[in-house]
Structure 1
Amino acid sequence: MLVEGTILSGPNFEPVEGRVVVEDGTITAIEEESVSSSNIVCPAFVNAHTHIGDSIAKEAGAGLSLEELVAPPDGLKHRLLRKTSRAKKVEAMRRSLEFMQSTGTASFLEFREGGVEGVFALREAAESLDIDPFILGRETVDAMEAADGFGASGANDADFGRERTATKRAGKTFGIHAGEADPSDINPALDLSPDFLVHVVHPEPIHLDRIEDSEIPIAVCPRSNLVTGVGMPPIRDLLERTTVALGTDNVMLNSPSMFREMEFTAKLTDVSPREVLRMATRNGARIAGLNRGVIEPGRDAKLLVLDGDSDNLAGNRDVVRSVVRRAGASDVTDVVL
Structure 2
Amino acid sequence: MHLEGTVLVGTEFEPVEGRVVVADGEIVRIEEGPVDGDDVILPAFVNAHTHIGDSIAKEAGEGLSLDDLVAPPDGLKHRLLRSASHEEKVAAMARTLRYMESTGTGTFIEFREGGVPGVEALRDALAGDGVALGERAIDAVALGRDDPDVLSVADGYGASGARDADFDAVRADTREAGKLFGIHAGERDADDINPAMDLEPDFLVHMVHAEAIHLDRLEDRGTPVVVCPRSNLVTNVGVPPIRDLAERTTVALGTDNVMLDSPSMFREMEFAAKLADLPAREVLRMATVNGAAIAGENRGVIEPGADADLLVLDGDSDNLAGARDIVRAIVRRAGAADVSRVVLGGEPVGKETI
Matches of 1:37 and 1:195, distance apart in 2: 42
Deviation at 1:139, TM superposition (A): 1.0
Aligned amino acid, residue 117 of structure 2: E
Aligned amino acid, residue 62 of structure 2: A
Deviation at 1:189, TM superposition (A): 0.2
Partner residue in 2 for 1:282: 289
Partner residue in 1 for 2:116: 116
Matches of 1:14 and 1:122, distance apart in 2: 36
Aligned amino acid, residue 76 of structure 1: L
Deviation at 1:204, TM superposition (A): 1.2
Matches of 1:265 and 1:172, distance apart in 2: 29
Structure 1 runs not aligned, ≥5 long: none
Partner residue in 2 for 1:250: 257
1:319 paired to 2:320: no
- Which of 157, 175, 185 does residue 178 from structure 1 map onto? 185
Deviation at 1:121, TM superposition (A): 0.5
Task: Summarize the alignment of residues 224-243 of structure 1 with structure 2, pairs less than 5 Å apart.
Answer: 224-243=231-250
Deviation at 1:145, TM superposition (A): 2.2
Structure 2 runs not aligned, ≥5 long: 128-134, 345-354
TM-score by length of 1: 0.99
Aligned amino acid, residue 235 of structure 2: T
Matches of 1:71 and 1:238, distance apart in 2: 25
Matches of 1:330 and 1:265, distance apart in 2: 20
Matches of 2:31 and 2:149, distance apart in 1: 47
Partner residue in 2 for 1:74: 74
- Which of 199, 202, 213 does residue 206 from structure 2 map onto? 199
Partner residue in 1 for 2:166: 159
Matches of 1:269 and 1:146, distance apart in 2: 38
* CA distances 1:273-325 after superposition (whole Å, capped 9, x unpaired): 11010000000000010000000000000000000001111111110001001
Matches of 2:147 and 2:284, distance apart in 1: 34
Task: Summarize the alignment of residues 126-145 of structure 1 with structure 2, pairs less than 5 Å apart.
Answer: 126-127=126-127, 128-145=135-152
Partner residue in 2 for 1:291: 298
Matches of 2:56 and 2:310, distance apart in 1: 29
Aligned amino acid, residue 235 of structure 1: I
Matches of 1:12 and 1:109, distance apart in 2: 23
Identity across aligned pairs (percent)?
71
Matches of 1:14 and 1:37, distance apart in 2: 18
Partner residue in 1 for 2:93: 93
Aligned amino acid, residue 139 of structure 2: D
Deviation at 1:270, TM superposition (A): 1.9
Aligned amino acid, residue 28 of structure 1: V
Partner residue in 2 for 1:24: 24
Partner residue in 2 for 1:14: 14
* CA distances 1:11-59 after superposition (whole Å, capped 9, x unpaired): 1000000000001110010000010120000100000000000100000
RMSD across aligned C-alpha pairs, in angstroms?
A: 0.5
Aligned amino acid, residue 73 of structure 2: P
Matches of 2:277 and 2:151, distance apart in 1: 37
Aligned amino acid, residue 317 of structure 1: R
Partner residue in 2 for 1:332: 339
Deviation at 1:183, TM superposition (A): 0.2
Deviation at 1:235, TM superposition (A): 0.7
Q: Number of aligned pairs?
A: 337
Deviation at 1:272, TM superposition (A): 1.1
Deviation at 1:144, TM superposition (A): 2.0
Matches of 1:271 and 1:319, distance apart in 2: 16
* CA distances 1:160-203 after superposition (whole Å, capped 9, x unpaired): 00110111111100000000010000000000000000000001
- Which of 148, 151, 154 does residue 155 from structure 2 map onto? 148
TM-score by length of 2: 0.95
> What secondary structure does 1:184 align onto?
coil
Matches of 1:92 and 1:70, distance apart in 2: 18
1:261 paired to 2:279: no
Matches of 1:61 and 1:140, distance apart in 2: 26
Matches of 2:334 and 2:294, distance apart in 1: 25
> What secondary structure does 1:183 align onto?
coil
Matches of 1:230 and 1:13, distance apart in 2: 33
Matches of 2:211 and 2:336, distance apart in 1: 37
Matches of 1:269 and 1:207, distance apart in 2: 19
Matches of 1:331 and 1:216, distance apart in 2: 34
Matches of 2:318 and 2:46, distance apart in 1: 26
Partner residue in 2 for 1:305: 312
Partner residue in 1 for 2:352: none
Aligned amino acid, residue 54 of structure 2: D
> What secondary structure does 1:240 align onto?
helix
Matches of 2:262 and 2:277, distance apart in 1: 23
Matches of 1:262 and 1:25, distance apart in 2: 27
